[in-house]
Structure 1
Amino acid sequence: MAVLLLVPLLGLLVFLLGVFIWVVFKELHTAEVPSTMKYPIKLRAVHCVFQYAITLGNILEKLRICSMPSFVRFMHDRVAIIKKDPKLLVTNLHFGTVPVRLFQPKASSCSPRRGVIFYHGGGGLLGSLDSYHSLCSYLARETDSVVLSVGYRKYPDYHFPIVYRDCLNATIHFLKRLQTYGVEASRVVICGESMGASTVAMVTQALVGRTSLPQIRAQILISPAVQLLNLQLPSFCQNKNVPFLTQEIFMTLVCKYMATDLSWKDALWNGACMPPENWKKYQRWISSDNIPDRFKNKGQEPQFPGPFIESAYLETKHFFDVRNAPILAEDEIISQLPEAFLVSYGHDILRDDTLLYKKRLEDQGVPVSWYHIEDGFHGCIVLFDRKLLSFPCSQDTVNSVVSYIKGI
Structure 2
Amino acid sequence: MPVTLDPDAAAVFKAFQESGRPPYETVSPAEARELYLKGRVVTNPEPPALDSVRPLAIPSPAGSIPARIYTPLKLRKANDLAPCLVFFHGGGWVIGDLDSHDVVCRKLADEGQLIVIAVDYRLAPEHKFPAAVDDAIAATKWIADHARQLGVDASRLTVGGDSAGGNLAAVVAISARDGNGPAIAGQVLIYPATDFAMTHPSHSEPETSLLLTHSVVKWFRDHYLNDAADAGDWRASPARANTLIGLPPAYVLTAGADPLRDEGDEYAGRLKEAGVAVTHRTFPGQFHGFFTMGKLLQQANVAASEIGAWLKALN
Partner-residue secondary structure (3-state), 2:230: helix
1:401 maps to amino acid: I
Q: Deviations over 1:361-390 (max 9, x none)?
A: 122211111111111210001111x2xxx1
Q: Deviations over 1:98-137 (max 9, x none)?
A: 1100012356756321111111100011111111111111
Aligned to 2:13: 43
1:223 deviation in Å? 0.5
Aligned to 1:102: 69
Aligned to 1:123: 92
Contact 2:133 2:168 in 1 (8 A): yes
1:192 maps to amino acid: G
1:50 deviation in Å? 7.6
**Larger RCO (alpha carbons 8 Å, 6+ apart):** 2
- Which consecutive unaligned segments of at least 5 residues does structure 2 have? none
Aligned to 1:255: 222
Greater CA deviation, 100-109 or 216-225? 100-109
2:192 maps to amino acid: P
Distance 1:110 1:352, change over 3 A: closer
1:208 deviation in Å? 1.2
How many residue pairs get matched? 306
Looking at structure 2, the residues matched to 341 and 50 of structure 1 have their Cα atoms a distance apart, in angstroms, of 35
Contact 1:87 1:105 in 2 (8 A): yes
Looking at structure 1, the residues matched to 185 and 276 of structure 2 have their Cα atoms a distance apart, in angstroms, of 12
Distance 1:74 1:224, change over 3 A: closer
Identity within the alignment, %: 24
Normalised by the size of structure 2, how large is the TM-score? 0.88
1:353 deviation in Å? 0.8
Contact 1:371 1:400 in 2 (8 A): no
Q: Deviations over 1:199-226 (max 9, x none)?
A: 1111111111439x64111111111111
Residue of structure 1 aligned with 2:210, choices 233, 239, 243? 243
Looking at structure 1, the residues matched to 4 and 46 of structure 2 have their Cα atoms a distance apart, in angstroms, of 35
Partner-residue secondary structure (3-state), 2:303: helix
Residue of structure 2 aligned with 1:362, choices 262, 267, 272? 272
Partner-residue secondary structure (3-state), 2:179: coil
Contact 1:222 1:344 in 2 (8 A): yes
1:93 maps to amino acid: L
- Which consecutive unaligned segments of at least 5 residues does structure 1 have? 1-32, 260-314
1:392 deviation in Å? 3.0
Q: Does 1:402 align with 2:308?
A: yes
1:400 deviation in Å? 1.9
Normalised by the size of structure 1, how large is the TM-score? 0.69
Distance 1:54 1:362, change over 3 A: closer
Aligned to 1:91: 54
Residue of structure 1 aligned with 2:200, choices 217, 230, 233? 233
Higher strand share: 2
Q: Deviations over 1:218-265 (max 9, x none)?
A: 111111111111x23221122465321111211111111224xxxxxx
Q: Does 1:113 align with 2:82?
A: yes
Looking at structure 1, the residues matched to 23 and 38 of structure 2 have their Cα atoms a distance apart, in angstroms, of 7
Alignment of 1:278-317 (within 5 A): 315-317=227-229
Q: Deviations over 1:13-57 (max 9, x none)?
A: xxxxxxxxxxxxxxxxxxxx96543232332213554833748x8
Contact 1:239 1:348 in 2 (8 A): no
Looking at structure 1, the residues matched to 228 and 50 of structure 2 have their Cα atoms a distance apart, in angstroms, of 48
Higher helix share: 1
Distance 1:77 1:361, change over 3 A: closer
Looking at structure 1, the residues matched to 169 and 214 of structure 2 have their Cα atoms a distance apart, in angstroms, of 23
Pairwise CA RMSD: 2.6
Contact 1:67 1:156 in 2 (8 A): no
